[in-house]
Amino acid sequence: MAWVRRLHADLDEPPEVVGGKAHGLVLLHRLGLPVPQGFVVTTAACRAFLRDGRLPRGLAEELAAQVTAPVVSVRSGAAVSMPGMMNTILNLHRTPEALETAVQSVFSSWNTPRARTYRAVHGIPHDLGTAVVVQDMVFGDRDQHSGSGVAFSRDPGTGEKRPFGEVLFGHQGDDVVSGRELTSPLSAVQQEPVVWQGLLDAFDRIEQHHRDACYVEFTFESGTLWLLQVRPGRFTGAAAVRLATDLVDEGLIDRAEALRRVAPSHLRHVRTPRIAPGADVVARGLGVCPGVATGRVALTAGEAVRLAPDGPVVLVRPETSPEDISGLAAATGVLTARGGPASHAAVVARSMSKPAVVGVADLVVGAGAATVGGREIRAGELVTVDGTSGEVALGRAAVVTGVADGCLERLLGWADEVSGERSDRPEEERLAAARAVLGIG
Amino acid sequence: MSQVLHALRCVGSSGVTRVAAFTGLDEAAAESELIDLAVAGFVTHHTGFGGWALTDAGREADAGNTSAELETAGGRDALTGPFDDFLVLNPELLDLCTAWQVRSVDGVTTANDHTDPAYDHRVLGLFADFHERASVVIKALAAVLPRFGRYESRLAGALTRAQTGELAFLADDLASYHVIWAELHEDLLATLGIQRWRG
């Protein structure tokens, strides 16, 4: 096969050829984890398509020769992650023509103006092309024992060793990340004990392999777990510090590796205020401007302007429009039902450095009150938002800064041992000195 | 139709400065018209934050004005194509504003402190490239309703200010490229009578 590779444990091709997604799926095969069968069309085929404006000679025959289920998923997967920039086609009823058209549509999506701009911003070359992963469709919407979710093996906010993520029973994966549907915390998967056990087992094996926390996307169909994507967790800030020291304690990495994993720049984010454990957290959205804000709820921009002279206000909106700018200017924090990291609300909140949480799917803003997490918050009541974790808590939540359990002090202690320097200096310098000795940039 | 009334619909409650910027009127002329509109019951002045806001009657009057204007200009269908093109550009512009405000440093999303001229130069260049494509779409909108043409010059003005060192004029000021773009978005929704959100 010139353009197509079967996904299985013995496939030995780098992400440059098969893309990061397929590379991860091969790892899952090697670890003996459940992956829907499928194949990948290489980035070389994409480059040929982009050059010639048609699928390369022979690809159609290779596609036709692949055995799959009647219904497949067709997903992009470049060597470098470009989340949300390219096409995904689910539930494709496979005919030769439909499959060729789907592959072409994913290849073409490499070159949309938005994708080109994304690459230019992030310094990703335009000539890499994307691979296309074709897999048997597994149906998260099959029945009440089916669903889809995304999960980290540990809490990406704190680094704590407990699975973290969200799940949506009775839905396919694209609904989980759309923000349109109300997801449940990952722990709800415990309703399906076999799936839950499978997930914990997968976390163990993947963590042992990567010697790091991991992130997976999964679907379960009639009580059977399938993994659709995997990557290392890439924790930052306080979570990175906690994770690195825990991994040392678990014997997965040594101290030098821990110092390698935490960049000095992470320490700048360790001290960002966060909602303390034990708060009355009713929802979790996406934190898009770090910091904690507690204030009285204002449901319109006008209300925010009116309330602000008497104390801090949190503006609560479905999403923001220009009308809300005056309200945002008056508020100390903002909470919206819609929006992602690059939404109007996020851009405006960052421009004013206001802690902001967006994309709280079950937030409904009414005339005199909002409901969130099944609880009612009336205008004028206190609410707290955490623009790092995305948490929303009722009342005035306590705030913490820094890492629990002395993890940071331990890490810096190891740094001092390496550098042999124990004078009083900023934390970032202590870490940087050790990394210099270890030859890390 | 009254551009001043429509300004408050697109900009939201605001002081006379933003109304003047939106319409191209000088502030005295804008204020004079705002006072006339207040007498007619279409706008009110809030002493609290020193700004002007639409009344329900004003919002209704503006909706009537824009829909009559659109009928005369050939109806909704004439705007549909360029509006779809706008919707394709919109997420890219928000990506660019985000890239201007924050960047990934060692995997951490970190405020762009504008100390890396190469990065800023790259993003500014991408804004300029984006603006060329946005201009094409705005010209198509203006071919149907000429008042949309003002957005092109306002956006170009914000871009020029950013290019000449006033870095806040891309995403971090009330007269920034992002805010003007958001006004254009709101204007299109208002003109086409599309709800931004339901429920």
pLDDT in tens, chain A (441 residues): 799 999 999 999 999 999 999 999 999 999 999 999 999 999 999 999 999 999 999 999 999 999 999 999 999 999 998 988 999 999 999 998 999 999 999 999 999 999 999 999 999 999 999 999 999 999 999 999 999 999 999 998 889 999 999 999 999 988 887 666 778 889 999 999 999 999 999 999 999 999 999 999 999 999 999 999 999 988 888 899 999 999 999 999 999 999 999 998 888 888 889 999 899 999 989 999 999 999 999 999 989 988 999 999 999 999 888 888 889 989 999 999 988 888 899 999 999 999 999 999 889 999 899 999 889 999 999 999 999 999 999 999 999 886 656 899 999 999 999 999 988 899 999 999 999 999 986
Q: Are B188 and B102 within one domain?
A: yes
pLDDT of A175: 81
Cα dihedral sign, B133-B134-B138-B140: positive
Residue B50 pLDDT > 70:
no
In B12-58 the beta strands, taken as DSSP E runs, fall at 43-46, 51-54
Structural domain including B60 reads 3-69
Q: Domain check: are B53 and B143 in the same one?
A: no
A274-400: CATH topology is Glucose Oxidase; domain 1 (3.50.30)
User: Does a structural domain hold residue B199?
Assistant: no
Q: How many CB atoms lie within 10 A of CB A34?
A: 15
The answer to whether residues B134 and B183 belong to one domain is yes
| Closest Cβ–Cβ partner in A118, A318, A351 for B95 | A118
Does B47 or A260 have the greater pLDDT score?
A: A260
A151 in Cβ contact with A165 (< 8 Å): yes
pLDDT confidence bin for B94, thresholds 50/70/90: very high
Contact B122 A343 (CB under 8 A): no
Asked if the Cβ–Cβ distance from A114 to B94 is below 8 Å, we say: no
Q: Identify whether the C-beta of residue B60 lies closer than 8 Å to the C-beta of residue B6.
A: no
Chain A neighbors of B126, CB-CB under 8 A: 117, 120-121
Contact pairs from chain A to chain B, CB under 8 Å: 119
> Under an 8 A CB cutoff, do A269 and B176 touch?
no
Are B62 and B86 contained in the same domain? no
Please list, in sequence order, all residues whose beta carbon lies within 8 angstroms of the beta carbon of residue A153, skipping any fewer than 6 positions away: A163, A203, A206, A207, A213, A214, A215, A216, A233
The reply to whether B168 and B83 lie within a common domain is yes
User: pLDDT tens digits, residue range A210-255?
Assistant: 999 999 999 999 999 999 999 998 888 889 999 999 999 999 999 9
Give the residue on A whose Cα is nearest the Cα of B187. A322
CATH code given to domain A4-136? 3.30.1490.20
pTM of the model: 0.90
B133 vs A contacts (CB less than 8 Å): 113
pLDDT of residue B148: 97
**CATH classification at residue B53:** 1.10.10.10
Residues of A in contact with B129 (CB under 8 A): 117
Q: What is the mean pLDDT of residues B143-152?
A: 96
Asked if residue B127 has pLDDT above 60, the reply is yes
Q: Does B102 touch chain A (CB under 8 A)?
A: yes
The yes-or-no verdict on residue B30 having pLDDT over 60 is yes
pLDDT the model gives residue B199? 37
Looking at the structure, tell me whether residues B85 and B160 fall in a common domain. yes
> Are both B103 and B184 inside the same structural domain?
yes
Which of A295, A292, A294, A285 is closest to A319 using CA atoms? A285
* Residue A180 in contact with partner chain B when CB distance is under 8 A: no
- Domain A147-232 grouped into CATH 3.30.470.20: yes
- Whether B156 is covered by a domain: the verdict is yes
Q: Assess whether B90 and B60 both reside in one domain.
A: no
For chain A, give percent helix, strand, coil, nearest 5: 40, 25, 35
B54 and B106 housed in the same domain: no
Closest C-alpha among A284, A272, A275, A352 to residue A320: A352
Distance CA B9, CA B48 (A): 20
Q: How many domains does chain B have?
A: 2
Name every chain A residue with its beta carbon within 8 A of the beta carbon of B94.
342-344, 347
CB contact under 8 A, A117 and B129: yes
Contact criterion met (CB < 8 Å) for B96 and A121: yes
**Is residue A178 within 8 angstroms of chain B, CB to CB?**
no
Q: Are residues B56 and B22 in the same domain?
A: yes
A234 in B contact zone (CB under 8 Å) = yes
B59 and B30 in one domain? yes
